[in-house]
């Protein structure tokens, strides 16, 4: 039944996306080109609605029996409504945040989903206590915004989200989390159908309708699949979402360094930096896909690693991310502390040799 449902979701997404495109033009849900945008013409940006409709059809067909189902459904409706309103009226950041918080609170209080503790690698537990609710809400809102932030090139957010959904669903299936695997697969099939129209050169954008929905679903599924577990399992969703999470973290650092508001838009995200390096639109998207797949592969390896090897792996990954970020200027062209330190050490070593 699941395989048939996935085919239906994929086909429906393909069929209704052109209709959503026409609807977007009729109601004015369009994206105007400006100095921050890469596209040069007016684009419809309500494409995420086709993903959501396909997802809803899949859910109706599958009718999953799970305690979190109702909360996910209500939270999804809230987040989709927020996204549609933003695509239509360009909501202020505080109203978008309010919608994300409402969806997150629905998961926590209606679904009773919280990260209560983490088993530490060398024994004992890290109990979140009163912080369990704020931590869970922060995770949902943070991942939702992380997906939204990388939605800057044709097919980028849809492709990165698809890769994350593949890894989350596969690992959930291995661990016997059938509900997580089923819902993740339904969202994946719906997203891939839309990606046919969204890959460069795109004929429609997913808009905040799609980016917020995908971020919300991915954040909740990752919590469901890996909550109240070991330190290793907790790091897995962080690795799976390595590209959007690291891009968001570096954006925060960059704005702090430049003394800008955290919500201030700029053109220094990962895809902007790669475009400035001379990569084409399509090459940039495919390279970021490759990065996401690499993080997904690392997450799979990490899930099978012993604690010592896992910690070493984390250290290597963090080092690689930092070096790449400084090389391409994710924190600004002049902020390169690690590279400067390595350059100083190399100069000092060469002087000692001579």
Q: Provide the 8-state DSSP code for 230.
A: B
Q: Please check if 31 is assigned to a binding site.
A: no
The answer to whether residue 28 sits within a structural domain is yes
- Is 72 a residue whose pLDDT tops 90? yes
In a domain, residue 150? The reply is yes
Flag whether 354 is in a domain: no
Confidence of residue 230 (pLDDT cuts 50, 70, 90): low
Percent of the chain whose pLDDT exceeds 70: 92
| pLDDT tens column, 278-301 | 889 899 999 999 999 988 888 888
| 260 domain-assigned | yes
Domain annotation covers residue 182: yes
Question: Does the pLDDT value for residue 35 go beyond 80?
Answer: no
The domain in which residue 174 lies consists of 2-347
Kindly give, in sequence order, each residue whose CB lies less than 8 Å from that of residue 254, ignoring residues fewer than 6 positions away: 266, 268, 330, 331, 332, 335
Distance CA 115, CA 96 (A): 24
Q: Are 43 and 154 a contacting pair, CB within 8 Å?
A: no
Residue 208 marked as a ligand binder: yes
Does a structural domain hold residue 321?
yes
Which pLDDT does position 5 carry in this prediction? 94
DSSP letter assigned to residue 202: P
Report the domain count for the chain. Answer: 1
329 Rama class: left (phi>0) / alpha (psi -120 to 50) / beta: left
Q: Is residue 352 part of a domain?
A: no
Tell me the per-residue pLDDT of 12-28, one tens digit each, with 9 for 90 and over: 999 999 999 999 999 98
Domain annotation covers residue 289: yes
Decide: 207 and 87 in contact? Cβ < 8 Å.
yes
pLDDT at 57: 96
- Classified as helix, coil or strand, 125 is strand
SS3 content of the chain, % helix, strand, coil (to 5): 75, 5, 25
Say if CB 133 and CB 104 are below 8 A apart.
no
């Amino acid at each position: 039944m699941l395989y048939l449902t996935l085919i239906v979701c994929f086909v429906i997404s393909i069929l209704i996306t052109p209709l959503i495109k026409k609807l977007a033009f009729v109601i004015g849900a369009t994206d105007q080109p400006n100095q921050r945008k890469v596209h040069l013409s007016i684009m419809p940006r309500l494409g995420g609605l086709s993903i959501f409709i396909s997802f809803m059809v899949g859910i109706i067909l599958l009718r999953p029996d799970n305690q979190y189902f109702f909360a996910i459904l209500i939270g999804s409706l809230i987040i989709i409504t927020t996204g549609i309103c933003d695509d239509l009226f360009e909501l202020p950041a505080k109203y978008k945040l309010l919608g994300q918080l409402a969806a997150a609170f629905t998961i926590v209080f209606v679904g009773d989903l919280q990260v209560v503790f983490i088993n530490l690698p060398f024994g004992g537990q890290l109990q979140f206590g009163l912080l369990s609710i704020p931590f869970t809400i922060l995770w949902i809102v943070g991942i939702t915004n992380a997906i939204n932030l990388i939605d800057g090139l044709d097919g980028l957010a849809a492709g990165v989200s698809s890769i994350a959904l593949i890894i989350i669903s596969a690992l959930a299936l291995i661990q016997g989390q059938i509900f997580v695997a089923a819902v993740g697969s339904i969202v994946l099939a719906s997203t891939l159908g839309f990606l046919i129209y969204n890959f460069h050169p795109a004929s429609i954008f997913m808009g905040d309708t799609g980016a917020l929905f995908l971020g919300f679903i991915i954040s909740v599924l990752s919590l469901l699949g890996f909550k109240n577990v070991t330190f290793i399992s907790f790091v897995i969703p962080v690795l799976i979402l390595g590209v959007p999470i690291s891009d968001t973290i570096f954006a925060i650092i960059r704005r702090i360094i430049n003394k800008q508001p955290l919500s201030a838009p700029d053109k220094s995200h990962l895809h902007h930096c790669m475009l400035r390096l001379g990569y084409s639109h399509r090459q940039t998207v495919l390279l970021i896909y490759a990065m996401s797949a690499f993080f997904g592969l690392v997450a799979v390896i990490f899930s099978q690693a012993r604690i010592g090897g896992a910690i070493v792996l984390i250290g290597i990954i963090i080092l690689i991310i930092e070096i790449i970020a400084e090389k391409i200027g994710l924190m600004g062209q002049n902020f390169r502390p690690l590279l400067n330190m390595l350059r100083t050490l190399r100069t000092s070593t060469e002087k000692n040799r001579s």
